[in-house]
Structures are given as structure tokens and as C-alpha cells.
Amino acid sequence: MPDLQGRDQEADQNSGQDAGQDVDQDVGQDASRDASQDVDVVVIGLGPGGELVAGELAEAGLDVVGVEARLVGGECPYYACVPTKMIVRAAESLAEARRVRGLAGSAQVQPDWAPVARRIRMEATDDWNDRVAVERLEGKGVRVVRGRGRLTARGEVSVTTDRGELRLRARRAIVLNPGTQPSVPPIDGLADVPFWTNRDAVAVTEVPASLVVLGGGPVGLEFAQGFSRFGTKVTVIEAAPRLLSAGEPEAAQAITEVLESEGIRVLAGVKAQRVRHANGEVTVELDSGEGEPVSGERLLVAAGRHTDLAALGVGAVGLDESAKNVEVDERMRAAEGVWAIGDVTGRGAFTHVSMYQARIAVADVLGRDGETADYRALPVVTFTDPEVGQVGLTEAAARDRGRAVRTVEYDLGGARYLRDGTVLERYTGFAQLYGLANDRRNVYVADTYANRVVMIAKATTKAGRVHEPGNR
């Protein structure tokens, strides 16, 4: 199996080689002379939200330049949403096939990662080439610059390209959509061992015999279950007291039981103290008294994501470079002439959030009346099997805001039986709805376990109603 450490750096270089040929020739030639250009709008970061902003503003008649250092389209189509769901779907197929015995006869299941790797490479990512995405934007009138953009003054963006430095002066707007990078926690020895992030894990051509996952959030759990169902021995280490620590405790307990029933070892409330690599294995030493070291052929670091605001130069427009996120108002305004959308706003690293914010920013830049941001019914799903979905605040977060909360819980677990009493299928799940106590008109929290309920809960939250079991 090839060593993929450093793949992120290679992807940066490759993205420049693959898509640099697609960059607007005038812009590229000017950059070679360290020139300046006046434009209407500069969009830094062409993930899904940045693409939408750049494309719609260009179609509205503005002179738009989009700046991207990696692949146009962002994390989702190349390293996250799309390829990971191919893994999830393939793993679900294996799990279903293993249930044939006793339900529909017999079946022999032989996991094979090759079709998954091939689909990710050829169907999802076009071999990690963004040429189609670049041409799509250019077709709308956007000029794409390959390089790293940073704010250098009010209304000014400097871009470091392989041809030199380009200074762009924005007459109308600068939109920040830089996305995030995988975080690497400061664990002793971690920087010296070959480890994966999500960007490496989606590109593997063979599954490892064993895998240690640092992080029990959505990314870590989706990969953990996916690889496990293809035969990898998986251990998940989570420093927080439970998996999916931002969600409901009941959901964390339920998904922990499911994962453990499938043979995944879960260590929650355990911190990694030191990491070392020897004899083809990565070993994670745990805090004193928290158990024996954990070893695996591969180590996946899924410990969150971050944005480097100092590298983005936000201090040039009066923003705090030491902050975790860029604060924006309900119309995505971050500073005079500056809007921010997507991961950098701290509303979650979700494509649907970035697209939602993008539409608001476009309307505001164009001076149109439009909706303002409202995150009360924000849906979030972790695509494990079963899925874990949440809409709005958790019960604890609501109570922390001083709200009196009324809870309604629906048990979705159970089993289907044949007439003779034989168990046909067992399934796990529950749904919880939270509302203001003594106020049936205002549901401000909904949390669900089992994704089939998410849209119902979302609709209920937006409508401002809560239904007791059996009521409509």
C-alpha cells in the first residue's frame, strides 16, 4: 500500500498543474509581471458557496475574479461529501448482504475495495482534476486565478501564484470562502509518523488490516464503520466523554452500541498522549491509567478542522486574526466591503450551510432585498448506519440559554417478525423533539436519531409546532 503522507501538499501542487492551464490567460500574464487589476468582486475560495457567489455575480454583469489554491469545488466533491458517501453506500451493501442468511436463503460476501476506489477516482473526483468545474465557472464569466489569496488592505487582495504576485482591487465586494483544513492536534510524536486525514483516506486503493481513528465525530465515525465493514480492524479514540459529543447523549450511546456490535472498539473519554511508528505500525499511547497502547497499520486523524485567519490577512480589514472564525451579521457582512460564507463563519463545515449563506451574500452584494440568516432549524446528519440526524439545538444547549424545555421522544427501534414469531429484522432508532414548556406554538429544538425523521422534524421546527405522539 503506498505511503500517502504528504498527499495534501502533492494535491496543492497537482491542482495548480491540472487547473492552472484553465486560468484566464490575461490574469496569468499580468501575475507574471507582479501587476495590479481593478475588478468588481474578488471571491477567495471556490468551494460550493464560493462557486455560487462567483457564478451568480458574474451572470449579474459584474467583473468577478475567483481565487483558489486547491481544487475548484472545495472539499465536498473531492475529499468529503461525495467520495465518503460512495464508501458509506458500498459498506451498507456489504452489511445488507450479510443479513441474507436467515432472511432470504444464503449468500457469500467477499469485500472488494477496488470498485469503490475506482468509482471515487473516476466518477466522483475525475482523478482529482477540477477542469470541468473551472470551465463551468468560466462559462459564466468568472475569471479563475490559481493561487493563495490574502487581504492586504481594504478593498485589496494579493494572490501568490506560480507566475508571481497579483494585486486585485475590488470596487464592490470581497467574499471570503476559504474553507478549512484538517486539524492536527499537538500530540507528542504525531508530526513524525505517517498519518491520514480524510483527504488521504478517500484516495486509498486498498483497505488497511487495522486502523486507529483519532476523533469520534462525524468524519471519524463514517470512515470507521466504512473501513470496518470492508474487513479492517478499527479502534476509535475520542477525548470527549462520548462519541458525537456535540449531539445528544442518547444518540451517542445508541451509535456506540451499534459500532461495538459490529466489532469496532470505542474508547471514549480517553486522550492520546504520544504516537510512534515502528515495524509498519502506528502506536498510540494513552494517558496514564487509561489503558494499554493502541496499534494499527494506519492512523486516521479526524480531530476537527480549522482556518488560518492570519494567513488570510483578515487583520488588514480590522478583523481578529487570532479568532477561530470570522464573525458575520445576518447578511454575511464581516467588514466594510467584505462578506464571509461557509466554514470560516463557524456555523459548521457543511455544504448546505455554505450554499445558504452564499445566496444571502449574493443578494446583499447586489443590493437586493432577501432573506437574512436564520440557523434555528439547521439540519445536520452523520451518515453512519443507522444515521444520526439533528435539527436545531440540543436539549442541553437550549437549557444553557435559560429555556424551560419540554421533551417528546419517539421510539423508532424494534423488530419485524414472521407470523411464527421468528425475528425477521431488528433495527435501532429514536427521535426527540424539544419545545418551549407550556408553549405549543414555538418549537425551537429538534433532535432526531434515524435520518428518515429529519425532514419531518425540520418542517415541524420551521412551522413552530410540536406534536405529541399520536397527535397531528
* Residue bearing cell 458509506: 88
- If we measure between CA atoms, which residue out of 425, 412, 397 comes closest to residue 456? 412
* Mean pLDDT, the chain, whole residue set: 85
Q: What pLDDT does 105 receive?
A: 85
How large is the average pLDDT for residues 164-183? Answer: 97
Q: Provide the grid cell at 433.
A: 423533539
| Stretch among 38-47, 140-149, 367-376, 383-392 having the lowest mean pLDDT | 383-392
Residues in CB range of 271: below 8 A, 6 or more apart: 239, 286, 287, 290
- φ/ψ of 261, rounded to 5, equals -65, -25
Q: Which of 5-19, 299-313, 447-461 has the highest mean pLDDT?
A: 299-313
- Is 199:7 a contact under the CB 8 Å cutoff? yes
Q: Which residue has the higher pLDDT, 361 or 250?
A: 361
Whether residue 319 is predicted with pLDDT greater than 60 in this model: the reply is: yes
Question: What is the dihedral sign for C-alpha 120, 358, 362, 15?
Answer: negative
- Is 27:160 a contact under the CB 8 Å cutoff? no
Whether residue 160 is predicted with pLDDT greater than 50 in this model: the reply is: yes
CA R_g for the chain: 24
- Is 300:219 a contact under the CB 8 Å cutoff? no
* Residue bearing cell 482556518: 307
Question: What is the dihedral sign for C-alpha 47, 51, 52, 57?
Answer: positive
Reported as a single tens digit per residue, the pLDDT across 242-275 is: 999 998 888 899 899 999 999 999 999 999 999 9
Residues 173, 455: Cα–Cα separation, whole Å:
35
pLDDT tier at 460, thresholds 50, 70, 90: very low
349: left (phi over 0), alpha (psi -120 to 50) or beta: beta
Residues 160, 140: Cα–Cα separation, whole Å:
24
pLDDT tier at 13, thresholds 50, 70, 90: very low
Whether residue 133 is predicted with pLDDT greater than 70 in this model: the reply is: yes
* Residue bearing cell 481578529: 320
Q: Provide the grid cell at 145.
A: 486565478
Q: What pLDDT does 416 receive?
A: 54
Neighbours of 396 (CB within 10 A): 13
How large is the average pLDDT for residues 346-369? Answer: 96
Q: What pLDDT does 3 receive?
A: 39
Whether residue 17 is predicted with pLDDT greater than 90 in this model: the reply is: no
Reported as a single tens digit per residue, the pLDDT across 405-436 is: 777 776 766 655 555 555 555 566 666 666 66
Reported as a single tens digit per residue, the pLDDT across 98-125 is: 888 877 888 889 999 999 999 999 999 9
Q: What pLDDT does 12 receive?
A: 38
- What is the longest distance spanned by two Cα atoms in the chain? 81
Reported as a single tens digit per residue, the pLDDT across 201-223 is: 999 999 999 999 999 999 999 99
Q: Which residue has the higher pLDDT, 65 or 290?
A: 65
Q: What pLDDT does 156 receive?
A: 98
Residues 88, 427: Cα–Cα separation, whole Å:
18
Q: What pLDDT does 435 receive?
A: 65
